[in-house]
Structure 1
Amino acid sequence: MGCDGGTIPKRDELVRTKKKPEQKDKTSELAFKWKHCAISQEALTKPIVACELGRLYKKESVLEFLLDRSKFDIAAQFDHLRGLKDVKELNLTDVPERRSHLAEKGDMRSDSIIADYICPVVGVEMSGKHRFCFLWSCGCVVSERAIREVKSETCHKCGKPVREEDVVVLNGSEEDVGEMRHKMEERRELARLEKKAKKAGKHKMKVAEAEGSSSELPATQNGQDSPTDAPTATKQTRKETSDATHKPLTNGKSGPEKKSKGKKPCIQDDPKASKTFKSLFTSSEAARNQQQPNWITYNPLYY
């Protein structure tokens, strides 16, 4: 049972001490954040997206989360994700020489911190040892060192204009997350106000167009007609046209024939023409006195 025959026990064998809590491996924890999705804990594969708080996700996992939040136990931590507009697809720069991710065999040494992406400006690896940021306006990922040393108002990768508020730190500390949350609220409030102003501008434009179209009326000799006068004028014009259509043709004369300058003299005024010859024409007195049916619109010389 021990303590017999010359054994020398140690203090930790005789006295029970409180065990120290198991400490996390910071290196492994850091590598896990940069290589796995924050929602599903699966390995990150392209397309990779990030939220306004700097967390990395698989786009497929974000879609599943938005469709059914009940499948995820940590849904409360991602309540800021309302739709795909709240994430930005990252424009990453691959490592020029892709390293092998084979399993350890024999004397092969496996490195758990193998970066797949690098900074396109200074060339540091995106493994968690260096702070990385992405720009919300374009989604390009660069190191914080590149932003600090190469100061510019445009993106170092795509050349688009960049504001200071668009810089989001990836996998930052609690202080960084608090600052990013404040920027997120300001950005969303600004977007809401711009949308509201745009709607108000469209409404004003429609009202102005309606007022302009109502003020345009047909012009008359003394000015402008009122809307009620237009139908009356139209009816009167139609009536005159109808009367002119149903009026019997009498060579342009309804009463006694009169000579007019520049016109050919009527056959009825010709003294050389006989009375029988004159009666053949509709301008004769017999033809004018002849009663015509109501339905005839053109005199076919029925005698």
Structure 2
Amino acid sequence: MGCDGGTIPKRHELVKGPKKVEKVDKNAEMAAKWKYCALSQEKLRRPIVACELGKLYNKDAVIEYLLDKSAERPNAEAVTHIRGTKDIKELNLTDNPEWEGERRNTKGDRYEDIHCGMFICPVVGLEMNGRHRFCYLQTCGCVFSDRALKEVKTEICHKCGDPFQESDIVVLNGTKEEVEKLTEKMEERRAKAKTKKSKKSKAAESATTSSKPKDDTEVKVAQNGEVHNSEGSSQSDVAGPSGSLGASKGSKLSSLSSSSAASKRSIQEMEEKSEAFKSLFTTHSSAKRTKDQISNWVTHTPYHF
């Protein structure tokens, strides 16, 4: 039963048991969510933006994705819901005065606090490191802790003073249930925006159709010489000064109609015109040629010898 070297194998070396489930380190998971970009997996640096689902990104990484969506990226699934820059909001963060940067422990002779965050809540002072729940406002982009919003209940932002509602509060890096609720809100908001756009387009179309002048009545000249509008009332029936104006307009229109009818007549039929004037036009008898006078079609080649 021994091996070449005279060793005796044990049971755990010969029989393979069930694999141990690998547990994710909570500290590493929190650091990945709160200190690194959800798309590029690079460290967060200003300007930092957040989507409608509460994920944190570097603004330049999101812009690069929007400019070239065909490029292969490892975490492209995290930004499929982002259609443009309107779907993200730049965050107004408050710096942590205790944050010394990445090179605070280069010598290795001091304690390094992993949970030290780059930003804090401006009201309560809690660090944004994943241990505490943080939210941001879609109206202004200011970031606060959930404790500050619950303890100090106001409808005005604590930092910039802009008004907001409860529907404008978005949880940063929330749980699965919170993300599902945020996705439902996002879909409802986008559906309402689509309906508003369709209503605006229909209103614009109706405005363009109604902008056509309805008061412009079509003037029709009857056979008896009276001028009537499209509503059927004659201008000669109007009494007073307006009636005189209508009569003058009717006379002008009748003169224009007679002149247009005269212009349509042939010049050769006008008795008031002289023969010399009529001979200037091709309709005169002198301009017409017989078949004997008409010559055959002659073509010329470009070659001249």
Q: Distance in 1 between matches of 2:6 and 2:181?
A: 61
Match of 1:167 in 2: 169
- Contact kept, 8 Å, 1:53 with 1:168, in 2: the verdict is yes
CA 1:26–1:231 in structure 2 vs 1: closer, same or farther (change >3 Å)? farther
* 3-state SS of 2:213 partner: helix
User: Which amino acid in structure 2 is aligned with residue 59 of structure 1?
Assistant: K
User: Which amino acid in structure 2 is aligned with residue 56 of structure 1?
Assistant: L
CA 1:231–1:98 in structure 2 vs 1: closer, same or farther (change >3 Å)? farther
Residue-by-residue CA offset, 1:102-139 (whole Å, 9 max, x unaligned) = 14314123233321111112111111110111111221
CA 1:82–1:122 in structure 2 vs 1: closer, same or farther (change >3 Å)? same
Residue 87 of structure 1 pairs with residue 108 of structure 2: no
Q: Distance in 2 between matches of 1:115 and 1:36?
A: 12
- Contact kept, 8 Å, 1:65 with 1:71, in 2: the verdict is no
Match of 2:283 in 1: none
| Superposition deviation, residue 234 in structure 1 | 10
Q: Distance in 2 between matches of 1:115 and 1:223?
A: 89
1:135-146, aligned counterparts within 5 Å?
135-146=137-148
Which 10-residue stretch deviates more, 33-42 or 148-157?
148-157
CA 1:234–1:205 in structure 2 vs 1: closer, same or farther (change >3 Å)? farther
- Contact kept, 8 Å, 2:99 with 2:117, in 1: the verdict is no
CA 1:195–1:23 in structure 2 vs 1: closer, same or farther (change >3 Å)? same
- Contact kept, 8 Å, 2:34 with 2:56, in 1: the verdict is yes
Which 10-residue stretch deviates more, 114-123 or 147-156?
147-156
Residue-by-residue CA offset, 1:66-121 (whole Å, 9 max, x unaligned) = 12233213323422111111111111111234424214314123233321111112
Match of 1:101 in 2: 102
Q: Distance in 2 between matches of 1:176 and 1:115?
A: 23
- Contact kept, 8 Å, 1:135 with 1:162, in 2: the verdict is yes
Match of 1:22 in 2: 22
CA 1:180–1:32 in structure 2 vs 1: closer, same or farther (change >3 Å)? same
Kindly name which structure, 1 or 2, has the bigger radius of gyration based on alpha carbons.
1
Q: Distance in 1 between matches of 2:208 and 2:200?
A: 13
TM-score (norm 1): 0.65
TM-score (norm 2): 0.64
Residue 53 of structure 1 pairs with residue 53 of structure 2: yes
Q: Distance in 2 between matches of 1:230 and 1:151?
A: 79
User: Which amino acid in structure 2 is aligned with residue 171 of structure 1?
Assistant: N
Q: Distance in 2 between matches of 1:167 and 1:230?
A: 73
Aligned length: 231
- Contact kept, 8 Å, 1:104 with 1:110, in 2: the verdict is no
Residue identity (%): 47
Residue 38 of structure 1 pairs with residue 31 of structure 2: no
1:283-302, aligned counterparts within 5 Å?
none
- Contact kept, 8 Å, 1:121 with 1:146, in 2: the verdict is yes
Structure 1: which 5+ residue stretches go unaligned?
237-303
Q: Distance in 2 between matches of 1:144 and 1:212?
A: 59
